[in-house]
Structure 1
Amino acid sequence: MKKIVATLLLGSIALVLAACGNESSSSSPQQPTTRNQGQATESKGSVETEYQALFQNSVFVGDSITECLSFHDVLKEENVLAGAGKTAEFALQDMAELTKRDPEHIFIHLGSDDILWPTDNPKTYSLKNYAKLIGIIKEKLPQAKITLLSVTPVTAEAEELEPRYKNINDYNQGLKELAEKENIGYVDLSPIFSNGSNNLYDSDGIHFKPEFYSSMLDLVKDQVE
């Protein structure tokens, strides 16, 4: 079991380093910077500053997908508490740090690694730890508003390589029911992919390009406004 867990963690770390480190395939280093390109960069910076101001009292808890929020400078590092290979069980170890940050809003975006956990029933095992995590947050940070975010879908190619990703919809149904039971927020991120486009995905079909995170924050900003 220790070897399996170690392998999973190393694989997850490799994925996030590759995914967050990749640049968009549409970039063209040979093309000189024009005035319009400079304006686009300035506009992008303004949008990021707007998100950072809007979510300045929030913390996003999650795995490598969530971690890229700060890697891409969409949010500041103090607003992201995430890492490669994180599961609901591992997130329990971050409670001291989360309590120290004392956020007004907590967004939890876990599950992509949980559904791959080497146990007989990953969903049941994960949601049990998810409920425990929520309970501790309510105890330690009773004033904080908690919102669960659905597990993001993967591409057909990624699902073919890892068939357990077919369980994402079922897992998200469990998350939604858990949120209702705990009387906390739940946001379904699937509308971001409603047009069927894969242009937001990074090369592994699991992680995302920076553009995804703007769409994600637009979808959840009602929770803090």
Structure 2
Amino acid sequence: MKNIFLFLCVLLLNISCSEKRKAVIGETEFQQKLNAEYKDASTSPLKAKDLKTFEGLDFFPVDNTYRVNATFTTTPNSPVFKMPTTKERTPEYKLFGIATFTLKGKEFSLEVYQNQELMNQEEYRNYLFLPFTDETNGFASYGGGRYIDLKIPTGNTIEIDFNKSYNPYCAYNDKYSCPIPPRVNFLKTEINAGIKAFEKH
């Protein structure tokens, strides 16, 4: 009898742990981390009504075709400029470098930026910002473009994983001020990777 009771306790504990593991969904660690952030009311950009029904963000299937090694050319003499946002705020950025890569047989270049305020914080000292737009915007992905977080590379190459692209907070809540991807960072192709458009309720 004790053995049966012990077995049932272990079984219930395993079921409980399994349900907790399922609470945060995602195909990759990046997706799981983003879903956990958006599910937590203290860190989520979602409006209260959207948070109530939130189960997880919608992503394109992970596709390694969209993980590219780009040649990275730094631009140390670039001037500081104010990047336009969806509101009056104009944070200061600097063009840190240009990433050139081949995707599905075509060559592309994207400008990579460094936030001048964040670079003074230890946590973000090596942080680089890659905002971009592509031909999925306004259809499968958010109309205002998407972002990718990068780190300053040690050499002259940098990995860009479009599977890790995410939406500006403005895609979920218009109270936020979000940098607008410069026109030069438009990719004349469909980037069917990373996060998809969010359906608001």
Question: Same fold per TM (> 0.5)?
Answer: no
Which structure has more helix as a fraction of its residues? 1
What band does the TM-score fall into relative to the shorter chain? under 0.3
- Structure having the higher strand fraction is 2
Structure 1 length normalisation: TM-score? 0.22
